[in-house]
Amino acid sequence: MIFGNASRAAAVGVFVGFAALPIARAAEPAPPLKPAISDEAATAVSQMGKTLLAKEQSITARTIRVYLGESGQPLHVFHTMKIVVRRPNRIAVEVAGDDGKHNLFYNGKAASIFFPDSKEYAVIAASGDIPSALNEVVDKINVDFPLGGFFVDSPDKLLLSDAISAWQVGTANVDGVECRHLFFHQKSGIDLELWVEKNSAATPRRLAVTYRLLPGQPSFIAEFTSWSTKARPSESEFSFQPPAGAKKIELTAAAAPATKRTQ
């Protein structure tokens, strides 16, 4: 994974795997100190939380990770993602980017990672909900999924539980849709911006995360090009069948580090 410690920091914070963008502008008043969570931000996040509890969802996204290279220069890694979810314990993710491709499948019993470029795959036993399975994938295969926080039981409570303060910066047009631009200052050392549609659904349209306490302040940005709660995925979409010639990675203590990948 690119960030290593940054991914761990995000897991402790809000959205797993959630550049440093200028938030405050000279013409903007300072955000209110009391209440720490503004009514606008709390209402929008609550509306989003209800929308994200839909049993079946289909999402596409473009993401950018920014981190420091060996010479200290900022580097950007781009990805596209296709995600299909059936709560509480089904998810499939297809990732393609500058550092290759990989696919994740979780069917409630096992989590599988497939790397199409090398035709390698790994399988681990995993049971429970989507977040617990994704944590198993991080721990045992070293592949992280930076948007897992959207699929916990209460994404709104998870987001606000770590917030020192949160407020609405303003509104913005994202791909032709008017959105609320929200800012969250987190106890875990993360600054998080979230753009949600300015309606009762408050569907996420954009996410930007800055890890303030890490060298170079690495960041993660996601733009959601679609987010549908009307998906009707088949059971087969969540199970992995190795293609002919694929090689299974045996996850022994010695071999596990060799499987390190990133999204």
Residue 26: inside a domain: no
Nearest alpha-carbon partner for 169 in 44, 47, 64, 48: 44
Contact (CB, 8 A) for 195 and 180? yes
Residue 123: inside a domain: yes
Mean pLDDT over residues 33-52, rounded? 89
Mean pLDDT over residues 38-62, rounded? 97
Look up the domain containing 180 and give its range.
Answer: 5-19+32-259
Mean pLDDT over residues 191-212, rounded? 97
Mean pLDDT over residues 206-212, rounded? 96
Residue 243: inside a domain: yes
3-state secondary structure of 40: helix
- Position 263 scores a pLDDT of 45
Would the pLDDT of 19 be above 90? no
Residue 48: inside a domain: yes
Report residue 143's pLDDT band, with 50, 70 and 90 as the boundaries. Answer: confident
Report residue 255's pLDDT band, with 50, 70 and 90 as the boundaries. Answer: very low
Q: How far is CA 260 from CA 12, 29, 126, 144, in A?
A: 20, 44, 19, 10
Residue 103: inside a domain: yes
More confident: 84 or 13:
84
- Position 251 scores a pLDDT of 85
Nearest alpha-carbon partner for 112 in 220, 228, 243: 243
Instruction: Render pLDDT for 163-188 as a digit per residue (tens, 0 to 9).
Output: 999 999 999 999 999 999 999 999 99
Residue 24: inside a domain: no
CATH number at residue 205: 2.50.20.10
- Position 27 scores a pLDDT of 41
Instruction: Render pLDDT for 54-106 as a digit per residue (tens, 0 to 9).
Output: 999 999 999 999 998 889 899 999 999 999 999 999 999 999 999 999 999 99
- Position 253 scores a pLDDT of 55
Would the pLDDT of 232 be above 50? yes
Torsion sign over Cα 178, 200, 52, 154: positive
Please give the share of the chain, as a percent, with pLDDT higher than 70. 82
Cis peptide before 88 (omega within 30 of 0): yes
Would the pLDDT of 148 be above 70? yes
Whole-number average pLDDT of the chain: 85
Domains of the chain: total: 1
- Position 31 scores a pLDDT of 53
Would the pLDDT of 3 be above 50? no
The C-alpha angle 73, 74, 80, rounded to 5 degrees, equals 145
Mean pLDDT over residues 136-159, rounded? 91
- DSSP secondary structure string for all residues of 80-147: EEEEEEETTTEEEEEEEETTEEEEEEE-SSEEEEEETTTTEEEEEE--SSHHHHHHHHHHHH----TT
Residue 27: inside a domain: no
Q: How far apart are CA 176 and CA 169, in angstroms?
A: 19
Residue 25: inside a domain: no
- Position 30 scores a pLDDT of 52
Torsion sign over Cα 82, 87, 89, 90: negative
Q: Which residues contact 241 (CB under 8 A, 6 or more apart)?
A: none
- Position 145 scores a pLDDT of 87
Mean pLDDT over residues 190-215, rounded? 96
